Chains A and B, each alone.
Chain A
């Protein structure tokens, strides 16, 4: 207890849980309630955000490098394993707390408008509040198990919200896919936890990290295995190769959910985990390289797929995977680059939430237009849009800001965070050339990012209108409750870079210094890296040039006049078709993993083991055996009392004879 507002930290998740309980009750008792649900749902989030700010201010005022840990009650006391339910307030968790509750509040507000007509309104807000509760548990937990509860909980909420419109089989399937893919990752997380407990005898962050230098041999097998298993967890939750395929399908959920869970907060949990355990990753250089390498590959791979998607949300989904890859490159690099990763996490939360909410407003408008004209076209296909800028000026402007930010145009937020990552990666490349490759991949990704985002904007908002005459008259800007959060996010996307203006531009690099206590212990373990100022300027120049080439290239290469609406569009040919079909990864997984498992389950486990062995041999076999024995012994039952008495007598005589001899 510190005697300051930091002590109130428990209130933030408690408020979200309260929101879940109240909204959940309303969803069950009075599903049609709207006003009360909106007030509770948004209110608890704003409350949590206010508490976040208060906690943050008091924590700054404490001027402490050490984390403030609150242990509330003993949860799992088993022998030498002592796990308490506790929260940890430190530099990293406060940043995450503010991002989650801040962006979360805005998205809750947006949802009020977006979901207004939905019959499951109360249920939606109950799930959303529950998600925030688990997310706060995840970022505030002071030990691996508490974090794991949050980790699983956000997965559950993600499943519930992806399959929110579960009456369509596609949506329910997407939810299941997300859940199952995440289970694979969670298995890695759990194995890592067991191994950590085995080696250090504790699961509290503080104890584990203080024992780690003595418990592990740097670069040894144990620490490498632990970190790789942790990273397996991250690839599931944060959609990296090879477990990323659930995220594009997760777009089946309501758009604000995509913004909150599948862009801004939940999917960054893996980045947070690696940043939290940066000491462990720094002790295992191989794992660090794997994290950065997988991140770089994912970034490039997802960006190529995004080039040829037509569904506006799918482009953003692949863009999210790609940007998460960027963050993993940063946290895999480790040391001071952790702050670059968290910085990109924060700015990405701003601009990607803005992009998703913007696309939500577009889909909302398209839906209303199609509803008015009784048309059944796909409201998310960019080929059916075009020229929306005339009807939705606010959304267009704000989404352009986000696009320029994600493309890395100075001085928007994405420019600073992306540049920070590239600088750190190239700096690491001097002692370890592998990082030069990662940096190169990052630059190519930046080029593709600028290209596909510009493509998305051009197809959606510019060029000739493809919605149709009738629909055109019904295209309007969304109500203020939806545009107001967009405005705030637009401001943050624009100016978010101020969080961490690097010293190169005579800024104070606030976030980097703020996060120093988190990465201090790992910096010493990593090779000394430094880039000359001239090299840094050159990198900035290259990054800006790449962004410019991407944007201008998209502008010049794409011919907006030749696009035809989705229903009459021809199929792609050649390489474009490979990209359109996502490199056939889903099909490959289906052929290599899903089908063999289904075959094994159906042909062997079901038809052989279950039907023949268990049902046939064991269950029916027991019955058949009993019947056979009964049939064989029928002749004993004559029905003649005399025979029974005779047998009885023989038995008695035998017993007597046994007793006497």
Chain B
């Protein structure tokens, strides 16, 4: 039925997310792109739950819970970094190099 369009949309959404993570510099935008990728996966789970059984839908709740927790922690980190550097641009975050 709607399986094929649903998978196509989720593929598009996921690619958009990946492209966003790769191309944007603003940490908050990258963060939203990650959320986008998670939700694309959620859509895949839900779509595939139709032919394959209820397990996919159960997994979606897990992903949502983890995504919520991640959003809380991630935003807190970004805030802390912003207080420290007055910026949320990824280019200024390269301490690992040194």
Given contacts A646-B22, A649-B18, A641 and B97 within 8 Å (CB-CB): no
Whether, in the assembled complex, A592 has its beta carbon less than 8 Å from a beta carbon of chain B, the answer is no
Pair B95/A642 contact, Cβ less than 8 Å: no
Which residues of chain A are near B93, meaning CB under 8 Å? Answer: 639, 641
How close is B68's CB to chain A, nearest CB, in angstroms? Answer: 22
Which residues of chain B are near A642, meaning CB under 8 Å? Answer: 21-22, 25, 90
Pair B21/A640 contact, Cβ less than 8 Å: no
Which residues of chain A are near B52, meaning CB under 8 Å? Answer: none
How close is A195's CB to chain B, nearest CB, in angstroms? Answer: 68
Residue of chain B at shortest CB distance from A641: B90
Of A637, A640, A646, the contact of B91 (CB 8 Å cutoff): A640
Of A639, A645, A649, the contact of B97 (CB 8 Å cutoff): A639
Pair B96/A645 contact, Cβ less than 8 Å: no
Which residues of chain A are near B86, meaning CB under 8 Å? Answer: none
Whether, in the assembled complex, A638 has its beta carbon less than 8 Å from a beta carbon of chain B, the answer is yes
Q: 1/0 per position for B11-47, CB-CB distance to A under 8 A?
A: 0000000100110010000000000000000000000
Which residues of chain B are near A649, meaning CB under 8 Å? Answer: 18, 22
The residues in A between 132 and 152 inclusive whose CB is less than 8 angstroms from any CB of B are none
Which residues of chain B are near A646, meaning CB under 8 Å? Answer: 22
Whether, in the assembled complex, B4 has its beta carbon less than 8 Å from a beta carbon of chain A, the answer is no
Give bound CA distance, A638 to B90, whole Å: 12
How close is A61's CB to chain B, nearest CB, in angstroms? Answer: 94
How close is A656's CB to chain B, nearest CB, in angstroms? Answer: 13
Of B25, B90, B96, the contact of A637 (CB 8 Å cutoff): B96
The residues in A between 618 and 661 inclusive whose CB is less than 8 angstroms from any CB of B are 637-642, 645-646, 649
Residue of chain B at shortest CB distance from A649: B18
Pair B22/A638 contact, Cβ less than 8 Å: no
Q: Interface SS of chain B: helix, strand, loop or mixed?
A: helix
The residues in A between 112 and 136 inclusive whose CB is less than 8 angstroms from any CB of B are none
How close is A125's CB to chain B, nearest CB, in angstroms? Answer: 70
Residue of chain B at shortest CB distance from A652: B18
Pair B18/A639 contact, Cβ less than 8 Å: no
How many A-B pairs with Cβ below 8 Å? 24
The residues in B between 35 and 70 inclusive whose CB is less than 8 angstroms from any CB of A are none
Of B22, B25, B94, the contact of A639 (CB 8 Å cutoff): B94
Pair B22/A640 contact, Cβ less than 8 Å: no
Pair A638/B97 contact, Cβ less than 8 Å: yes
Which residues of chain B are near A639, meaning CB under 8 Å? Answer: 93-98
Pair B94/A638 contact, Cβ less than 8 Å: yes
Pair B94/A645 contact, Cβ less than 8 Å: no
Give bound CA distance, A645 to B91, whole Å: 14
Which residues of chain B are near A638, meaning CB under 8 Å? Answer: 94, 97
Pair B97/A637 contact, Cβ less than 8 Å: yes
Give bound CA distance, A28 to B95, whole Å: 62
Give bound CA distance, A639 to B98, whole Å: 8
Which residues of chain B are near A640, meaning CB under 8 Å? Answer: 90-91, 94
Give bound CA distance, A642 to B90, whole Å: 8
Residue of chain A at shortest CB distance from B18: A649
How close is B62's CB to chain A, nearest CB, in angstroms? Answer: 21
Which residues of chain A are near B21, meaning CB under 8 Å? Answer: 642, 645
Give bound CA distance, A646 to B21, whole Å: 9
How close is B13's CB to chain A, nearest CB, in angstroms? Answer: 16
Residue of chain B at shortest CB distance from A638: B97
Give bound CA distance, A640 to B96, whole Å: 8
Q: 1/0 per position for B73-98, CB-CB distance to A under 8 A?
A: 00000000000000000110111111
Pair A645/B22 contact, Cβ less than 8 Å: yes
Which residues of chain A are near B25, meaning CB under 8 Å? Answer: 642
How close is A287's CB to chain B, nearest CB, in angstroms? Answer: 78
How close is B25's CB to chain A, nearest CB, in angstroms? Answer: 8
Give bound CA distance, A637 to B98, whole Å: 9
Which residues of chain A are near B95, meaning CB under 8 Å? Answer: 639
Q: 1/0 per position for A29-64, CB-CB distance to B under 8 A?
A: 000000000000000000000000000000000000
Which residues of chain A are near B18, meaning CB under 8 Å? Answer: 649
How close is B83's CB to chain A, nearest CB, in angstroms? Answer: 19
Which residues of chain A are near B97, meaning CB under 8 Å? Answer: 637-639
How close is B93's CB to chain A, nearest CB, in angstroms? Answer: 7
Give bound CA distance, A103 to B84, whole Å: 92
Give bound CA distance, A638 to B91, whole Å: 11
Q: 1/0 per position for A319-361, CB-CB distance to B under 8 A?
A: 0000000000000000000000000000000000000000000
Which residues of chain A are near B91, meaning CB under 8 Å? Answer: 640
How close is B26's CB to chain A, nearest CB, in angstroms? Answer: 12
Which residues of chain A are near B96, meaning CB under 8 Å? Answer: 637, 639
Residue of chain A at shortest CB distance from B97: A639
Give bound CA distance, A637 to B94, whole Å: 10
Give bound CA distance, A640 to B98, whole Å: 12
How close is B35's CB to chain A, nearest CB, in angstroms? Answer: 15
Give bound CA distance, A639 to B90, whole Å: 10
Which residues of chain A are near B94, meaning CB under 8 Å? Answer: 638-640
How close is B97's CB to chain A, nearest CB, in angstroms? Answer: 3
Give bound CA distance, A214 to B82, whole Å: 97
How close is B70's CB to chain A, nearest CB, in angstroms? Answer: 16
Which residues of chain B are near A641, meaning CB under 8 Å? Answer: 90, 93
Give bound CA distance, A346 to B53, whole Å: 102
Residue of chain A at shortest CB distance from B25: A642
How close is A640's CB to chain B, nearest CB, in angstroms? Answer: 6
Among A642, A645, A646, chain B packs the most CB atoms within 10 A around the CB of A642
Residue of chain A at shortest CB distance from B27: A641
Residue of chain A at shortest CB distance from B96: A639
Which residues of chain A are near B22, meaning CB under 8 Å? Answer: 642, 645-646, 649
The residues in A between 546 and 586 inclusive whose CB is less than 8 angstroms from any CB of B are none
List 20 A–B pairs whose Cβ atoms lie within 8 Å, in order of A's numbering. Answer: A637-B97, A638-B97, A639-B93, A639-B94, A639-B95, A639-B96, A639-B97, A639-B98, A640-B90, A640-B91, A640-B94, A641-B93, A642-B21, A642-B22, A642-B25, A645-B21, A645-B22, A646-B22, A649-B18, A649-B22
Residues of B within 8 A of A (CB): 18, 21-22, 25, 90-91, 93-98
Ranked 5 nearest A-B pairs via Cβ: A639-B97, A639-B94, A639-B96, A645-B21, A641-B90
Can you name 4 extra interface pairs (CB under 8 A) apart from A637-B97, A639-B95?
A638-B94, A640-B91, A641-B93, A649-B18
Residues of A within 8 A of B (CB): 637-642, 645-646, 649
